[in-house]
Amino acid sequence: MKIDDILTINDRLNSKFWSGENGEGQNTSVLSRLKLVAQDFFDDLDLEAELEDITFTGSLANYNYTKYSDIDLHLLIDFSKIDENYDLVRNFFSAKTSNWNNKHNITVFGYEIEIYVQDINEDHHSTGVFSILNNQWIAQPNRIEPEIDEKMIKRKVKSFIDMIERVEDLYDTKKYARAHEFSKKLIKKIKKFRQSGLEEKGVYSYENLTFKFLRNKEHMKSLFDIRNMSYDKNMSLEGNFDKKFKIFIDFGDFEERKGFNNVEEAKDYQAMMQRGHARPKNALIGVGCRSESSPVGFGGSL
C-alpha cells in the first residue's frame, strides 16, 4: 500500500474553498450553499432546540485533503435541551444523519457533503474548524509533518481486510445469520478503534489512517453492504420462515471444530481462496488488495 493513498500534506489549503496563507479568505458562495443545506436539514427535524452553530471541518478545512475527502458539515446543538437522556438524543441524530447521507448526494466541486450533528459539549479532534454562522475560524488549520507509524498501519490494515474477507466468505456460503452478526460486530470494532486513535493522537493517528485506507478502498462499503444484504436475506420469505427467523433471532456463538485437522483445514482454505479469487477487487495490486497470486491479506509496499 502507498501512504499517499491515505495521507497527503498539501502546501496550501484547498483553493476552491479558501484563499490566503492560512485561509484568511473564504469562498462565500460555497459557505452560503453549505449554510442553506445545513439549515434545511435542521428545519426538517422540527425541534424545539436552537441551532447553535454550523461548522466546516475535516481535511478540506485543513492541509491533509485528498480526492477522497468529504465536506464535513457539522451542526452544533445542545443535546441537553432536547432530552436529558444523552444516548437517546445521540441515537436519534445518528439515525437522521445516516438517512440523509444515504439519501442525498450533494457535491461541491466534486466533494460530497457529509452531515453530522454534534453536541456543543462534545470534543472535536481537528485543527481546522470554521464557523459558517459566525464567519470565523474556531480552530485555525495547522500544517505539520506528522510522524506516521507506517508498519503499524500496514499490519492493522492487513488484519482488518482479513476479517472483512472472512465476513464476505460467510455471505458467499449463504451463512447469512453469521455474516450479519459478524459484520455488525466488526463495524462496531473498527469505529471504536478509530475513535480511540482520534482521542489520543488526533487525525494522524495510525488508527484513523487505517480507517481512512479501509474507507477509501471501499472495504468499509463492502462491510456495510454485507450487513444490509445478509439482513435482507434472513428476512426474505423463502422456505421455512419461522425456523429461519428463530435462528436469526437466537443467533449466538457457533460451535467450532475442536483440534486441528489438516485435511478439513486445507479444504476450507482452498474454498476460501477460490471465493476470494472470484470476488471483484476493491483496489489494484500495490494499493491494498491481494492479487490472484498473493497470499491472504494484501500486496504492495508501504
Q: Write the CATH number for 107.
A: 3.30.460
pLDDT band of residue 292 (cuts 50, 70, 90) is very low
Per-residue pLDDT, averaged over 137-150, amounts to 85
Per-residue pLDDT, averaged over 161-165, amounts to 93
Yes or no: say if 275 and 260 are a contact pair by the CB < 8 Å rule: no
On whether both 126 and 159 belong to a single domain, the answer is no
On whether both 130 and 12 belong to a single domain, the answer is yes
- Domain membership flag for residue 301: no
- What total number of domains does the chain contain? 2
Between 103 and 243, residue with greater pLDDT: 103
Which residue among 139, 174, 202 closes a domain? 139
On whether both 13 and 129 belong to a single domain, the answer is yes
On whether both 111 and 225 belong to a single domain, the answer is no
On whether both 133 and 22 belong to a single domain, the answer is yes
Q: What pLDDT does residue 6 have?
A: 66
Query: d(Cα 267, Cα 3) in Å, to the nearest integer?
Result: 36
Q: Is the dihedral of CA 117, 121, 126, 130 positive or negative?
A: positive
Which residue among 80, 115, 139 closes a domain? 139
Residue 35 pLDDT greater than 60, yes or no: yes
Yes or no: say if 210 and 156 are a contact pair by the CB < 8 Å rule: yes
Per-residue pLDDT, averaged over 98-119, amounts to 92
| Interval 170-219: pLDDT, tens | 999 999 999 999 999 999 999 999 988 888 888 888 898 999 899 888 99
Per-residue pLDDT, averaged over 248-269, amounts to 56
On whether both 159 and 274 belong to a single domain, the answer is yes
On whether both 165 and 124 belong to a single domain, the answer is no
Residue 290 pLDDT greater than 50, yes or no: no
On whether both 41 and 155 belong to a single domain, the answer is no
On whether both 79 and 121 belong to a single domain, the answer is yes
Phi, psi of 3 (to 5 degrees): -65, -25
Query: d(Cα 248, Cα 116) in Å, to the nearest integer?
Result: 32
Nearest alpha-carbon partner for 95 in 125, 80, 116: 116
- Domain membership flag for residue 302: no
On whether both 132 and 42 belong to a single domain, the answer is yes
To the nearest whole number, what is the mean pLDDT of the chain? 81
- Domain membership flag for residue 283: no
- Domain membership flag for residue 218: yes
Nearest alpha-carbon partner for 173 in 284, 47, 19, 278: 278
On whether both 100 and 156 belong to a single domain, the answer is no
Residue 110 pLDDT greater than 60, yes or no: yes
DSSP-derived pairing of the beta strands 111-119 and 71-77: parallel
pLDDT band of residue 112 (cuts 50, 70, 90) is very high
- Residue 193's domain comprises 150-278
Query: d(Cα 213, Cα 161) in Å, to the nearest integer?
Result: 10
pLDDT band of residue 2 (cuts 50, 70, 90) is low
Yes or no: say if 79 and 107 are a contact pair by the CB < 8 Å rule: no
Which residue among 104, 139, 174 closes a domain? 139
Q: What pLDDT does residue 148 have?
A: 80
- Domain membership flag for residue 1: no
Kindly state the percentage of the chain with pLDDT values over 70.
Answer: 76
Nearest alpha-carbon partner for 198 in 62, 9, 58, 53: 58
Q: What pLDDT does residue 268 have?
A: 65
- Domain membership flag for residue 296: no
- Domain membership flag for residue 27: yes
On whether both 43 and 134 belong to a single domain, the answer is yes
Q: What pLDDT does residue 236 have?
A: 85
- Domain membership flag for residue 261: yes
Buried b (16+ CB within 10 A) or exposed e, 186-201: bbeebeebbeebbeeb
